[in-house]
Structure 1
Amino acid sequence: MALKSLLSSLLLAPLALAHPGHKEAVHAHRALPLERRSLDHCSKEFNSPEFIQRTVEINGAEIKRLRRALGYEVDEKPKITPRDYLSVSRIDHKSNKTVTEGMDLSTLFSNYGACMLMPVVDEGPLYVKGEEIRKNITNGERGIKMTLAIQVVDYKTCQTVPNAYVDIWSSNATVSYPGMGDPNDASILKGTTLRGVQPTDSHGVASFDTMFPGHYDGRATHIHAIVWLGATKHANNTLTGGRAAHIGQIYFDQGLITAAERNAPYNTNRMPIQQNTRDFLFQAGANGDDPIVRYSFIGKDVSEGLFAWIRFGINQQTSRPLNPAAYWTANGGVMNPTGPISKLPGGGGGGGGWPGFGGGWGKRFAEKLGRKVEAEAELQEDAE
């Protein structure tokens, strides 16, 4: 007991010396917060583009103030270090986020701190304008199911863009673009599989139930997308008017592509797989931003389905010219007589897929578009 009393006296001694003549209780120095609560519930707000941008602006202003006080020159222009396609290709885009039914999809984008302008490319040779507004675009197509969420933000303000329309299309697992192909085959133009339009919600998010796309010679595995602003929705569930503010392509991790291609019917495709880093358009798109989707498995592996998401930073003042291959009407597809397919020798050929698959036409088209993208990017840099 004597030893215990001595230890208590020694522990209390510093407190008595620090506050001579004051009888403050010891527990007062161990005061607890009035309310025990973390800020985890604020993660959505703290990770919002607006919050992040404002935080960066405030902290950056303080750093500039301190550097000026020390006599350093301060560059007033924000420094953004662009990514390059090789570093982008090395990123593992598989997310540890759990995707649940009915969740707020905007929470998936919390790890997208930046909102850079997504690279704009050509719409490609197989765009059909006027597709229906619908979420599920699979039409019973065989392949790996994938829900794709695309968030649209203004790259200058980092504000989300509601009431836009996102238009996507892609090849199927066995390498055809349903709804487009030989203009002499009327049945081809009746298809709408893996094509559709969705509006962005109040968080700027549009989502589709689609399939993981297949690969073909000359191009990396990809999905095409257009963002429409100011378009009018009609009673027949289609759009007219508006302007194309963004035309882009979406890509996937090479490891994910390899895993997907082991499954049927993808494994029946004997064409060589084009690596992302060897795709001219991927190089153009990934030299500046990251056009590869984040994703999460729905089940144990890719065969049971994917949830994928990506953010588009767009310039809302942009209006991109378009020359579709065909137009979707109430009576089916109608070829555009001045479109890219009609201009091909023999009217396209190919009998149901992208014409000229075996002859490297896809590669030549990609290289042509890549040169066009580079030239436009240089003009944009000069203008800024």
Structure 2
Amino acid sequence: MERKHFLKSLLVGAVSAPALLSACGKDEVTPDTSGATTTGGTTGTTGSGSCAAAPTETEGPFPTKQPASYVRSDIRDGKAGHLLTANITITNTNNGCAALAGALVDIWHCDAEGNYSEYGGTGMQSTNYQSVHFLRGRQTTGANGLVTFTSIFPGWYSGRATHIHVHVYSASGQSLKVTQIAFPEGTGSAVAAVNGYAKGLTGYTANAQDNVFSDGVSLELASVTGNTTSGFQLSISLGVPA
């Protein structure tokens, strides 16, 4: 489904489940002219050095409506869930994947029940959270390219694996990359430990079957450590052409 048609469907009410899954799928994008690898695989040649660019993924269907309004590191807004500290490093694939300072990094993800703020009251998400802004935030990378967010471990919803959305802009506001962060799965993983919160994992869509991640997550898979008692720590490095 083209994004403009999907957004139009939000205005007219309920959207069918197949429409939601289509909207959550990969966007058709113009290949990165730098020559970056933008899908599965472990390496890609881009810019002046050899390094990997994060794949471009869909921003919808629940992007932050006014991202510049939520400059903050703690994005919980009182939402309950297991503590998650997310350390995201942004590198410049046009400069040998050197750390990219001064980049604007927006993240957003669903709550423990699988709901997003700023949306709802439709067939796609029955709970109405249009007037709140939990689990959304923006930070600016330091000299080491790093931003850190305090959040909760994301829940899940039908058709999608556990994930976090990321949109990276230049210091001047130019969009550099829209991508998503995937989580390790299986025995001993944080996904297994959290076990879908109260929902459990019955009906959960694994990375391999997810319509965003099924072509490979090697460039989007975070390292996640910790436990449900003291919280989890997520770390990932994402390359963008700047």
Q: Same fold (TM over 0.5)?
A: yes
1:191 to 99, 121, 132: 132
Number of the residue aligned with 1:275: 206
1:284 CA displacement: 3.3
- Equivalent position to 2:104, from 140, 165, 186: 165
Letter in 2 for 1:161: L
CA distance in 1 between partners of 2:235 and 2:114 (Å)? 23
Q: How well do the aligned residues superpose, as a CA RMSD in angstroms?
A: 2.6
Residue 136 of structure 1 corresponds to which residue in structure 2? Answer: 74
Residue among 177, 181, 194 paired with 1:260: 194
Give the conservation status (yes or no) of the 8 Å contact 2:163–2:183: yes
Q: Are 2:140 and 1:225 aligned? A: no
Letter in 2 for 1:225: V
Higher helix share: 1
Rounded to whole Å, the distance in 2 between the matches of 1:147 and 1:225 is 15
Specify which of 52, 60, 64 is matched with residue 116 of structure 1.
Answer: 52
Alpha carbons 1:171, 1:177 under 8 Å: kept: yes
Q: Residue 218 of structure 1 aligns to which amino acid in structure 2? A: G
- Once the two structures are TM-superposed, the CA of residue 280 in structure 1 deviates from its matched residue by 2.0
CA distance in 1, matches of 2:198, 2:130: 26
Q: Is the 8 A contact 1:119 1:285 kept in 2?
A: no
Matches within 5 A, 1:1-384: 84=41, 115-131=51-67, 132-157=70-95, 158-182=97-121, 188-231=129-172, 242-255=173-186, 256=189, 257-261=191-195, 266-268=197-199, 272-284=203-215, 286=217, 289-297=218-226, 301-316=227-242
State the distance in 1 between where 2:168 and 2:230 align: 29
2-side partners of 1:165 and 1:156: how far apart? 17
Q: Are the counterparts in 1 of residues 107 and 164 from structure 2 also a CA contact under 8 Å?
A: yes
Which has the larger Rg? 1
Equivalent pairs: percent with the same residue?
A: 29
Residues 245, 314 of structure 1: 8 Å contact kept: yes
Show structure 1 runs of 5+ residues with no match.
1-79, 86-113, 232-241, 317-384
Contact 2:90 2:146 in 1 (8 A): yes
Q: CA deviation at 1:311?
A: 0.6
Counterpart residue type for residue 133 of structure 1: V
The one-character-per-residue Cα deviations of 1:63-87 (angstroms, maximum 9, x if unpaired) are xxxxxxxxxxxxxxxxx9x8559xx
Shift of 1:130: 1.9
- Closer/same/farther in 2, CA of residues 269 and 191 from structure 1, 3 Å limit: farther
Give the counterpart letter for 2:73 in structure 1. K
Which structure features the higher share of strand residues?
A: 2
* Aligned length, in residue pairs: 190
Q: Could you tell me the TM-score, scaled by structure 1's length?
A: 0.46
Q: Give me the whole-angstrom Cα distance separating, in 2, the residues matched to 1:247 and 1:201.
A: 20
